[in-house]
Structure formats: C-alpha cells, structure tokens
Structure 1
Amino acid sequence: MQVAEKERMPRLSLGEERNMVTQLLLLNITVFILLFFIKIIYQMENTGLAAFERDILTNTRFPADPMVLLTKPWTPLTAMFAHTGFWDVFSNMVWLFCFGTLLQQTGGFRLIVPLYILGSLCGMAFYLAGMNLAPVLQPSVAGGHVIGAGAGVMAIAIGLTTLAPRNRVFPLLLRGGIPVWVITLIFLALHAADIYNSGSYAATGLFLLGGAFMGFMFIAQYKKGRNWGAPVNKVIFSAGHIFHPKEQKEILREEYLEPSRPSATPYQKIGTVPEHKLNELLDKISAQGMHSLSPEERDTLLRASRENAEDF
C-alpha cells in the first residue's frame, strides 16, 4: 500500500519548537510563578495584598468597564496568560494539555495558538458586551474583571470536538476507547458545577461562552478551507523572527506557516479515509501489532485497503 508520508507531530516535550501546547503551558506557568513571587515580595515589604492588587493585578486583569479598558489596552493580552490561584492554573493547564495535545495530533500545531488567542479575545468580547448591555449586570461593571486561560482552553476543547468528535482516547480503559465528545461533556459539566458553586454565573459564563463560540466557528470555517488562524500565525512568526537573517526567515516561513489560501479540506484523504487516520493505524500496528486494533479501526483499515486496490 502506497501512502504519502505523514508529517509526524512531536510528543509533548520541553524544547520542541513545533509543540505549541508545550509553549502555551510554559508561558502560563511562568506568568503564574512570576505573579506569585511578586505577591510574596509585596508581603515581605509589608505593603500588603491591597497594594499588590492595586499595582499589579489591576494592570493585568481584563476590566468590565470600557473606560478602564481604554486606559489599559494591554490587558486583553496579559489577562489570557495570567492566573492568581493555584487550582485555577492547575485545572486549566491539565485541560489545555489534554485537548491541546489531541487537537495538535489531529489538526496540526498551527491551530493551537490561534485558537487559544482568538478564543480568549472572543471570551473577553462576550464578557465586555454582556456586562455593559444587560441591565441586570450593569451594576457589577465597576470593579468587574476576568483573568485566566479559561476561554482559550474552552475554544481548543470545542474546536477539537467540532473537528473530530468521534476520535477515541484511552483505548486501554474501554473497548475501543472513549470518544472525544464524551470527554468534552465531562469538561463542560465540571465547568458548570464550578460556576454554580462560585456564584459568578454572568462573568465566568460569558467568558467561557465566547471561547466556545470562537472554537466552533474557527473549526467550522477551517473545515471549509477558511483558516482564520493564518494571520495570527503570521504576526507571531514575524515577531518571533524579527532579527533572523532574511534567507533563514524564508526557510522557516515555508516550514511553520500555512499557505495563504488553504485547501478545501484540512488534510488529504485516501478515498473516504483521512490520510492522517490511516497513518496512525499503520503506526499503531508497527508498534503494538495487529491485535491492538479495535473493531472500528480494523474496518477503517480494511476500507482503505479496498479503496486503494480500486485505484489500481
């Protein structure tokens, strides 16, 4: 069977340049540690937590008041990478690792950062609009704020579910594994319970709803050949390689940036079987043997073999 060579996605590991999940994890954790040590310094200097919130957090969180936002236009960027509580950053990073790794393996590393950034920005836009347009929420605008990776992680989770809802994980736990959509339902249920317990229905709900909306729309358009993430990747690439020689920059550009006009589908297909899926099955057989395949995977491999034979 002749199969086009698959672009192998790197596993989660430090120092892997194309593993965008790793880089997002490191960035979020680094910002959390930085804020934590700044907080300790404020306490050691006897200036108190009130001074820490006034000097640092008010310049980091995304405000609900548009007038405050105009004076602090950098907060949409800082807020999406900042956390103030250990369990907040822990839970967000666990889900980012889970959904981000699966999406990176399914759709490629170029989707991760744009989805995270656009999902976070859309979540903030939903939050800002809802807090200022809904009369019942307007009294909470003064002093209201959101912070954290919640909307970005939500966008990645919904994006993965939109792209490949029936992909399966944890094949050793259940026969054939657990579908992605089931994991997403658990994720949403846990978030709903957390919102209920915290009482921040409007703020957190609007923030996460915006991320979910962007995750769905992003991947829905991506499946139609419209890549909303290409401009984001170009900006990040230009900023990260501004001091590179022109020749080296052109080589890296071809490797890390997608074409300006993506094809009608996010991946090539062999008949009705996606190429990446077929390559994953072949890798699994090579590593674990034919007996490791589930009945569904055996049917997929058989169908691909028949389609390939018909082509000849």
Structure 2
Amino acid sequence: MNGLLDDFKGAFSKPNNGLIQIILINVIVFLVLILLRVILSISEVPEVYSTITNQLMIPPLIRNFIYKPWTVFTYFFTHEEIFHILFNMLFLYWFGKLVDEYLGNRRLINLYILGGLAGGIIYLLIYNLIPYYQVRSSFPGMIGASAAVYAVVVGAATLMPNYTFFLFLLGPVRIKYIAAFYVILSFAQSIGSNAGGNIAHLGGALLGFIFVKQLKKGTDLGQPLTNVAESIRKLFSRKPAMKVTYHRRDVNKASYNPNSYTPNQDEIDAILDKISRSGYESLTKEEKQKLFRASQKN
C-alpha cells in the first residue's frame, strides 16, 4: 500500500506530468465513489451517496446551478461507470500525448480545463434557452470528462490533422477523420437520451478547435489559467533564504526559455532536414515545440 501511495506522490510531484496527473485525478475520484457506493449501500443509506454525487454533477437548470457553481469544474473529473472512464482516459492519453509533445504540458492542462468549462457552459445555455431541451431537464445533472477529452481530441486533430493512428481492423487512419467521426456522432445524438452529454461534447470540441487556431495566430487562450496556476504555486512555494551572489555576465551565452525562445532559421532548417531524413516522429519534444513557435511567427 505504501508503494502505491509513493507512486501516486511521485506522479504528482514530477514536473511536466500533467497528462498522467489528470488521468490519476479522474481514476482516484472514480475509485472513491465506488467505495462510497458499496459502503453506503451496505449501511442502508444509499441516499447519502446520491447527495454526494449531486454535489459533483452539473445540473441542467441555472436556478439549481447558482447554488453549486463549483460543479462546472467537478463534473469533468467525475465518473460512475467503468466503460465511461475507460474510453475517456484512453482517448485522453492517445491524443493528449500529441498535444503535450507539440504544445507542452501547461497548454495540455489548459486545453483540458477550458474544454470542460466550455462543455458545461454550452450545456447550461442549451438547456435553459431552447424549449426542446427544457422539457428534458428533469434528470439531476451531468458528469464525465467527455467534453474536456473532446477538446483535446479536436485540438490535436486541428494541430496535426494528418497524423496517423493504426486502428484495429481499420489500419492507418488520420486523426482528423477520427475527430470528425466523433463530432458528427455527438451531433446526431444531441436529441437522444444522452442529449446533455452530447451537447457538452460539441462545446468541448468547438473549444479545442478555437484554442489551436488562436494559438497559431499567437493568442494563447489558456494564459489566464497559467497565470492563476503560477500565482498559486508562488503562494505555496517556500521562499529561499536571502542570498547575495555575484556572477560575471557572459554576453556571448544566451539563455533558453522554452516559453519565449524563438528559434532562428538555421535551427528550423536543421529540424526540417531531420524530418526529411527520418520523419516527423524522429523529432524530440523540444524540436516539435520549436517548429510550432516558428510557425506562429509566419
């Protein structure tokens, strides 16, 4: 048991490990809810479990949502069904790896969170503004990371539309077709029994598309989230003891900041040569990010 806890602690303390951390949070919440459901059912107080889950799911009606606004965040970290979380986390891992490699850890986290928020907001707007859905608002609410995952899936497909996955029985398929298939499927099912969930999928997908398109134009929609996260980190980080040191400034040595550094033409040419020799997959994570930053300047 201690070894398992150490593994969890290591995953959360490891820098630039946002994808695994998001998956772990979803899995931990899922396992805790399973344990609570079993314990409370045996204790013959299942209504307590319902009360707990109602505090995590986002309700369809705004008049109920205003009393628990935190659910616009908690719903996309909460699952109750094994296949629901399994497929969500598999898709998040496959497509999230691409976003992480090309855009970096922080932007992947921002894309997931913004996708979840967009899905929740679209869900609330549709259910409160369109009469067709208002008569279908009797259920307690929505949970699941699907909207956030759709943002990552569509974001990856917008970023690298011709990247290929090898699918069982189908062979090589470009990810833009995978993303398009699931978006069309969600749209077709937006009038079915899971209308709310599919509407949220579409909201997340739209956010993923806009996020990457704006990023290519030089606008990072996730920067406010980055600023908030950095402020929180500084608030809880230990302040080092004051120490005065003197360094000789070396004007010939430039520092490399992965968030602000702009690669020069020689570096880009070298990366393009490497792609022509060994393919895109041979690039390191840093080289992929340099190539993306160069594309933003063009």
TM-score using structure 1 length = 0.71
Q: 1:251 maps to what in 2?
A: none
Report the count of equivalent residues: 259
Asked if residue 133 in structure 1 is aligned to residue 129 in structure 2, the reply is yes
Q: Does structure 1 retain, via aligned residues, the 8 Å contact 2:186–2:198? A: no
How many angstroms apart in 2 are the aligned matches of 1:272 and 1:186? 37
Amino acid at match of 1:23: Q
Compute the displacement of 1:180 (Å). Answer: 2.2
Q: 1:161 maps to what in 2?
A: 157
Asked if residue 207 in structure 1 is aligned to residue 211 in structure 2, the reply is no
Q: What's the CA shift string for 1:59-92, capped at 9, x where partnerless?
A: 1100111121111121111111000111100110
% same residue: 29
Asked if residue 225 in structure 1 is aligned to residue 225 in structure 2, the reply is no
How many angstroms apart in 2 are the aligned matches of 1:167 and 1:222? 19
Among 45, 51, 55, the residue aligned to 2:48: 51
Bigger mean CA offset, 231-240 vs 77-86: 231-240
Amino acid at match of 2:231: S
Asked if residue 111 in structure 1 is aligned to residue 107 in structure 2, the reply is yes
Compute the displacement of 1:185 (Å). Answer: 3.7
1:68-147 → structure 2 map (5 Å cutoff)? 68-147=64-143
Bigger mean CA offset, 273-282 vs 67-76: 273-282
Q: What's the CA shift string for 1:172-198, capped at 9, x where partnerless?
A: x999x54221332454466578x48x9
How many angstroms apart in 2 are the aligned matches of 1:119 and 1:91? 17
Q: Which ranges of structure 2 fall in alignment gaps of 5 or more residues?
A: 1-9, 242-254, 283-298
Q: Does structure 2 retain, via aligned residues, the 8 Å contact 1:110–1:256? A: no
How many angstroms apart in 1 are the aligned matches of 2:196 and 2:281? 49
Among 228, 237, 240, the residue aligned to 1:244: 237
Q: Does structure 2 retain, via aligned residues, the 8 Å contact 1:159–1:218? A: yes
How many angstroms apart in 1 are the aligned matches of 2:178 and 2:165? 9
| Alpha-carbon distance change, 225 to 154 in structure 1, aligned in 2, over 3 angstroms | same
Q: Which ranges of structure 1 fall in alignment gaps of 5 or more residues?
A: 1-12, 249-253, 288-312
How many angstroms apart in 2 are the aligned matches of 1:223 and 1:56? 41
Compute the displacement of 1:118 (Å). Answer: 0.7
| Alpha-carbon distance change, 229 to 285 in structure 1, aligned in 2, over 3 angstroms | closer
Q: What's the CA shift string for 1:118-159, capped at 9, x where partnerless?
A: 111111111101001111111223444111100000001111
How many angstroms apart in 1 are the aligned matches of 2:129 and 2:228? 32
How many angstroms apart in 2 are the aligned matches of 1:204 and 1:21? 23
Q: Does structure 1 retain, via aligned residues, the 8 Å contact 2:54–2:140? A: no
How many angstroms apart in 2 are the aligned matches of 1:73 and 1:230? 22
